[in-house]
Copies of this chain bind each other. A is one copy, B any other.
Amino acid sequence: VVKREVVQLITPGTVMEGSMLDEKENNFLASISQLNDASYAVSYADLTTGETSAAYVGRDFHSVISELYHRPVKEIVVCEELAKEKQTEIEERLNCTVSFEGETGISREESYLIKDMPQDLVFVFGRLFHYIKRTQKRAMDHLQPVQVIELNEYMKLDMFSKKNLELTETLMKKGKKGSLLSVIDATVTAMGARLLKKWIDRPLLQEDAILNRQSIVQGFLNNFLYRDEFRDDLTSVYDLERLAGRVAFGNINAKDMIQLKASLQKIPSILSLLSHFEEPVIQTFVQRIDPLEELEQLLDAGIHEDARVSIKEGNIIKDGYSDVLDEYRNAQTNGKKWIAELEQKEKESTGIKSLKIKYNKVFGYFIEVTRANLTHVPERYERKQTLTNAERFITPELKEKETTILEAEEKSIDLEYELFLEIREQVKSYVNKLQQLAKDISELDVLQGFSFIAEKNGYEQPGFSTERIVRLKSGRHPVVEQVMQDEFVPNDIIMDQNTNIFLITGPNMSGKSTYMRQLALTSIMAQIGCFVPCDEATLPIFDQIFTRIGAADDLISGQSTFMVEMLEANHAIQHATNRSLILFDEIGRGTSTYDGMALAQSIVEYIHANIKAKTLFSTHYHELTALERELPTLKNVHVRAEEVDGKVVFLHQVKEGAADKSYGIHVAELAELPQGVIKRAQLLLDEFENNDAEDLSGQLS
């Protein structure tokens, strides 16, 4: 019998089951450590699956926040010495519990966990591991060896971009609905959904790894009928990854085993479906996947289909699995048959037709005779209880049989428990194979999902350019096109080797930010292996994406919109390279007219001269369009609008050149401000423009 320690702390990051877990999300516990060279490292563990990982992050605490941001981390372990304001930042930015652990060493017995780790990274995992041991107080041998994540191998997205681009949750409602994830998630299994979220968090930089994913997606597209059958089969596959985690942890119950069996029973059919695909990358999976038939047979023979969750109440083990158990069960069945026969016999011998043998928890088995028939009760009946309309009796032979039945029941429950534990130990020996199986199935699930949405939403396979060329024909915003009532107006984004900056002008509400986000989201989709919403796409592989797009005031924390704007802009300017993508939306809007304009121009010039990143820069300072003459890799584009009967119609089309007019007053008209206000504003505007046009363009050089 397994013994358990009584004391265990359940913390947000160490929950292993129940309603606090979201099946489509990992439940990570993370730790942060500062290494000897003052740079930071993080480590993750998901106790439900046993996976663990660690990564170097860099010297900048902001990078730590960015790394952890929007990940399904519920709790972060740090040392008590970490500065108070950093603790606060973790709590507020990441909405996480902060816990403390000072110990970081790893003992020799546990060193198998860190065999692939560089020595200085060990401490960050050590902190996590000690915290887990201290709170859980039981063997943690289900944890897998730590996987070292090289963040340089993935596209970097800072906190602002993750937030502004609404990759996995939306800005306003903090829900999945309306996020990129919600649009491209066509996974069938919960483990597939979790893997997709991880992929979105870490787009790839290696072209061959991306092409590898693409060819599986293409394979599923070529043979979409088989893919749909595969999807059907996946609906019967349970969460193998978490099941494997619980197998390893040792708290799997009979229901879990039934789910495991049902899942394994689907694997042969999946393998046979997959063997129809010609693509070598898919065939690799077919070679590798082990259907674990022996395990399936063991579970099928041993575990009852309707087994209860509680492993101590019997009804778990199938008839025929154990002779001894079958014997106990016969004793119970026979006893109950004997009692039924006794009832018949007593009815006949006493002549009381309404006589019944009943059972309740207080008195056990008894004979019940209605008041009208009491005169017929024989002497050998022993009175037990008087009810209003009946009396209850026992006889010695009834009580003797009762004892036999109850004892057999007790013994069979004990035996079932033992048998169950034996089976559980056997299942545990398959844990590595189960983890590999879960991994393979999750990956195939995400990729079939990519092919499913590519077909459903009309996505195309993007190509990649090593010459920093953007060539997106009829591109669409993946999220907005899904929620729009009307048809989405596609737009081209074509930036050759000699074009780095698009300066975008045009009225509000016309779709400037949609246009900008579209490129960022399309690039992220492309770099996770997904097809993209357009007619044709060639894209650079971006090393980083930076955004500065709208943000709400954060009054109480004391930072005004404009400070947030400048911090985000500065972050981009300091870290971007010529392989990066920058989206700057209305830089300078948060301050007064002229210094905002001065800053916007100065920033554009800086990017043009020093960074040379691909940049989409939208602005309401029409005066900046004059820059096209000065800066050779900058190009003006504008969003078209037309006036019909004095009203503004937005065409959502982006064209070359600068916008020729501003439409704020027309928006005011659409909002039905009093005609007097509108007319006066128009008059004032005309005066400003006439007096000013030449002056400003002169100052731009």
Give the interface residue-count category, chain A: 35 or more
Cα A505 to Cα B591 with chains together (Å): 11
Cα A674 to Cα B667 with chains together (Å): 37
What 5 A-B pairs are tightest by C-beta distance, nearest first?
A591-B664, A566-B671, A595-B664, A592-B620, A552-B552
Which of chain B's residues have a CB closer than 8 A to the CB of A698? Answer: 691
For chain A, residues 648 to 701, give those with C-beta under 8 angstroms from any C-beta of chain B: 662-665, 667-668, 670-674, 676-678, 680-685, 687-689, 691-692, 695-696, 698-699
Q: Is A39 on the interface with B (CB-CB < 8 A)?
A: no
Q: Is A495 on the interface with B (CB-CB < 8 A)?
A: no
Cα A699 to Cα B683 with chains together (Å): 11
Known pairs A593-B623, A602-B677. 13 more at Cβ < 8 A?
A361-B361, A362-B406, A480-B555, A508-B561, A562-B667, A563-B667, A566-B668, A595-B664, A598-B681, A598-B684, A602-B678, A688-B696, A692-B692
Query: Which of chain B's residues has its CB closest to A513's CB?
Result: B555
Q: Which of B170, B593, B601, B680 touches A684 (beta carbons < 8 Å)? A: B601
Contacting chain B: which of A40-48, A292-300, A567-575? A567-575
Which of chain B's residues have a CB closer than 8 A to the CB of A672? Answer: 570
Rounded to whole Å, the gap between the CB of A338 and the closest CB of chain B is 18
Q: Which of B589, B598, B696 touches A665 (beta carbons < 8 Å)? A: B598
Q: How many copies does the complex hold?
A: 2
Q: Are B671 and A554 in contact (CB under 8 A)?
A: no
Q: Which of B361, B556, B695 touches A178 (beta carbons < 8 Å)? A: B556
Q: Is A307 on the interface with B (CB-CB < 8 A)?
A: no
Q: Are A573 and B663 in contact (CB under 8 A)?
A: no
Q: Are B688 and A699 in contact (CB under 8 A)?
A: yes
Rounded to whole Å, the gap between the CB of A617 and the closest CB of chain B is 14
Q: Chain A, 506-526, contact with B by CB distance < 8 Å: what is the 0/1 string?
A: 011100011000000000000
Query: Which of chain B's residues has its CB closest to A588's CB?
Result: B664
Q: Are B172 and A598 in contact (CB under 8 A)?
A: no
Cα A673 to Cα B572 with chains together (Å): 10
A595-B662, A665-B595, A672-B570 are known contacts. Are A172 and B552 too (CB-CB below 8 A)? yes
Q: Is A440 on the interface with B (CB-CB < 8 A)?
A: no
Q: Are B509 and A673 in contact (CB under 8 A)?
A: no
Rounded to whole Å, the gap between the CB of A506 and the closest CB of chain B is 9
Rounded to whole Å, the gap between the CB of A49 and the closest CB of chain B is 30
Q: Which of B406, B573, B680, B696 touches A602 (beta carbons < 8 Å)? A: B680
Rounded to whole Å, the gap between the CB of A299 and the closest CB of chain B is 33
Which of chain B's residues have a CB closer than 8 A to the CB of A555? Answer: 480, 513-514, 550
Which of chain B's residues have a CB closer than 8 A to the CB of A602? Answer: 677-678, 680-681, 684
Which of chain B's residues have a CB closer than 8 A to the CB of A344? Answer: none
Q: Is A145 on the interface with B (CB-CB < 8 A)?
A: no
Which of chain B's residues have a CB closer than 8 A to the CB of A606? Answer: 674, 676-677, 680
Q: Are A595 and B685 in contact (CB under 8 A)?
A: yes
Rounded to whole Å, the gap between the CB of A622 and the closest CB of chain B is 6
Q: Is A605 on the interface with B (CB-CB < 8 A)?
A: yes
A552-B171, A602-B684, A684-B699 are known contacts. Are A508 and B560 too (CB-CB below 8 A)? yes
Among A406, A479, A680, find the residue whose CB has the most chain B CB atoms closer than 10 A: A680
Q: Are B403 and A384 in contact (CB under 8 A)?
A: yes
Interface CB pairs A-B, < 8 A, 30: A178-B556, A362-B364, A362-B406, A385-B403, A480-B555, A508-B562, A508-B563, A508-B591, A509-B562, A509-B563, A513-B553, A513-B555, A560-B667, A563-B670, A566-B670, A569-B671, A574-B674, A590-B664, A591-B662, A593-B597, A594-B692, A595-B664, A595-B685, A596-B664, A598-B664, A598-B683, A601-B680, A602-B677, A610-B676, A692-B695
